[in-house]
Structure 1
Amino acid sequence: MNKENHSNRRMDTKSQEMLKSLSPKKIFLPMVVGLGAIIYLMATDEKMDFDKVIEAFKNINIWWVVAAFLVLFVRDAGYMYRIRHLTSEALDWSSSFFVILLWEFASAITPSVVGGTAVAVFIINQEKVAFGKSLAYVMLTAVLDNLFFVLASFAVIFLAKGDIFPDDAKSLVIMGYELNLEQIFLVSVGLIAVYTVLMSWGLFFGPHSFKRLLAKITSNKLLRRWRRSAIRSGNEMIIASKELKGHTAGYWVKAIVSTIFIWSARYLMLNCIINAFLHVNLFDMSFDEVYTQFLIFARQIIMWIVMLISPTPGSSGTAEYFFGEFFEEFLGAGLVLAVALLWRLFTYYAYLVVGVFVIPRWITRIFKRRQTVKTR
């Protein structure tokens, strides 16, 4: 009985820590950083012409904006479908709604290099999915997404034939090294590829050897302080691996296709936003205009990978800066920063605001469910 009470207390403490990490108060730092970056970039841009920006927004094609909203909703519906499918429909549509929006919120308030993985496991677990299965589904999602990033990025680089990286993009000094966009991309995609290979190996082929590798790495004096965490991660990998065995080929096909759909929709939304300013006629495009649409889509894949190594919450500041570097040639100096703000409103700030309203409803929902269980 004492062991059970101790276990319950540990679970309650862990739940409190996770709920604290979902605090609506955490939206202020990423908002300040992101908006501060936009204001700074606008203020220091000598080519900035606010009159032209205002005129561009006045003449915006509203139908492309509506299309951007529709693509956003379709993308979120795709996320909900995928998490339902991965859990073999253990989550209903209502649970999937809360899981996806809270997962997006958690990702928005944590650094991109960290992501909202731990919080996502907690959220799914609270929706009556066993811990081992919750962990497996979140790890599988990470592997699927990263595989898409790596494979899609090299595919578009091959198809674009040298047009992916802007010629006039500025270099950045990172940890004492001056790197251009292509070099930053190569570092980031290399790290993602290594992480994905290790995760795939651990999940699908050798979870026990993965644990032994982590233990061996952290046996070094310099890394010994992380040994306990590494062993725990190894144990979690073994649990997750067991949960993913026995699925049919159809399960994996649907998981892969839904991942491609989700990310394609995310990237196509930016095409819609930029088209609203370029006044593109979807039904009367020349070959050059079609290629421009492809470049906008392709560059966003590359930009997303570059953003993934950002140490700021939700890539705040980093995303706005790189947006200007990748898309200035399509929109012109000055306007590109205003469009960057609009893009972040759609893809980032909206989830911060929605999360503030969804979190209390979700907590109330979970609390009522627990009370119902206790009274039975």
Structure 2
Amino acid sequence: MSSESVNISQPQSLISRKYLIISILLSLATMAGVIYWTYTPGVLEFLSKSRLPGLIIALVVSLLRVWFSAAKIRFLSEKKLDWYASVRVVLAWDFTSAVTPSTIGGAPMATYAMTKEGLKLGDSGAIILYGVLLDQIWFALAIPILLVSGIFYEVVPPEIGLVGDVSMGLLYVGLLSYAGLLAYGVLVNPTAIKRVVKFVFKLPVLRRMGDKVEEEAENLEEYAQQLGQKPLSFLLKAFFLSTMSWLARIALPTIVVLSLLPAPEVLSVLRSLAMNLAFLVVPTPGGSGGVEGLFVLFQGPLISREGFIGLAVFLWRIISYYISIGLGMMATTWYVNQKVVEIKAQD
């Protein structure tokens, strides 16, 4: 619950121009380096026009990811949020995630956005928790798939060596442990979450916000209990929407690679799944620099012409990152403008 320490009453406080600049510069620098080291003069002559429409499919899949994420948010809010509001929340969440370190993430902005759409802060926090839980359940199921697949495929590239293998193993253990703790807190004992929130806001630097947070912690506990009491069909539908969003995210790198050259489809998808899990622990704003490097490590060896590796990274980041930044910036600006209108109305 560390994200609650951010002042969500001011949307500007959730976004750092410094992090935005760092994120974009790291991404551009890494892509430039990959292109410089892998580009071969004349390689573009080997592009197959019959494969290029795959980039349109990649764009559609990227938009489908947003749609499924919005559908999940709308479903968890029990349709208190309409489609436009749900899409705005997801776009603002994506944008903030793309320009902040992974330790902060987009959850504070998503919480703020939902409160501006008319939900209570406690309800918004519970929806975020439940959404994160669904993601963690998905990770917990994906890890056995990767472990079993590793018997038949080189899911983890041998290029990353022993350190990489150990790191991936620790990541798997960490994700499974976190999923278990979160499931206990949200589905079994929401009171534990409330106690953690109250404890955190007894710290000297946060104590001044304690009274308001204590009230919202009660709302969070109540709504978490309501979600926990939902029938299994509710959890399954929400999990389906979460899964479809993640499958779209996983499919994107493979679709981009196949839009340029033939590649082993199954292995590419499995490596995309593994590298997306690895993205979760990249500490830079939006994972920039690290995610491009992981793409090269996991997908690069599958690209038969080395000169296409830089192009694949570039196209993938344009579709998955830069378009998200553009759309997310518009959604976030909308919330900032709404705050300005509220202040003027109060004056």
TM-score > 0.5 by shorter chain? yes
Q: Does 1:344 align with 2:324?
A: no
1:306 maps to a residue whose letter is A
Equivalent position of 1:192 in the other structure: 175
Deviations 1:234-260 (A, max 9, x none): 947635523424323322121011111
- Aligned pair in 2 of structure 1 residues 161, 102: CA closer, same or farther (>3 Å)? same
Equivalent position of 1:40 in the other structure: 33
Unmatched runs of 5 consecutive residues or more in structure 1 = 1-12, 172-177, 219-223, 280-288
CA contact (8 A) 1:112 1:307 kept: no
The Cα of 1:365 is off from its aligned counterpart by 4.4
Deviations 1:209-237 (A, max 9, x none): 45668999x9xxxxx889979x9799476
Residue correspondences, number: 334
2:14 maps to a residue whose letter is S
Equivalent position of 2:83 in the other structure: 93
Q: Normalising by structure 2, report the TM-score.
A: 0.84
Equivalent position of 1:274 in the other structure: 257
1:361 maps to a residue whose letter is W
Q: Does 1:138 align with 2:111?
A: no
CA contact (8 A) 1:188 1:308 kept: no
Which among 297, 310, 330 is matched to residue 357 of structure 1?
Answer: 330
CA contact (8 A) 2:96 2:109 kept: yes
1:137 & 1:212 partners in 2: Cα distance? Answer: 18
1:210 & 1:121 partners in 2: Cα distance? Answer: 16
1:368 & 1:214 partners in 2: Cα distance? Answer: 31
The structure with more radius of gyration: 1
CA contact (8 A) 2:156 2:274 kept: no
Q: How does 1:1-376 map to 2 (within 5 A)?
A: 14-16=8-10, 18-22=11-15, 26-43=19-36, 45=37, 48-57=38-47, 59=49, 61-171=51-161, 179-180=163-164, 182-209=165-192, 235=217, 238-278=221-261, 292-332=264-304, 333-365=306-338
1:202 & 1:303 partners in 2: Cα distance? Answer: 28
The Cα of 1:208 is off from its aligned counterpart by 3.2
- Aligned Cα root-mean-square deviation (Å): 3.3
Give secondary structure in 2 for the equivalent of 1:278.
Answer: coil
Unmatched runs of 5 consecutive residues or more in structure 2 = 1-6
Percentage of matched positions with identical amino acids: 22
1:25 & 1:114 partners in 2: Cα distance? Answer: 14
The Cα of 1:108 is off from its aligned counterpart by 0.5
2:111 maps to a residue whose letter is V
1:104 & 1:214 partners in 2: Cα distance? Answer: 25
1:21 & 1:209 partners in 2: Cα distance? Answer: 27
The Cα of 1:14 is off from its aligned counterpart by 4.2
Q: Normalising by structure 1, report the TM-score.
A: 0.78
The Cα of 1:341 is off from its aligned counterpart by 1.8
Equivalent position of 2:4 in the other structure: none
CA contact (8 A) 1:110 1:314 kept: yes
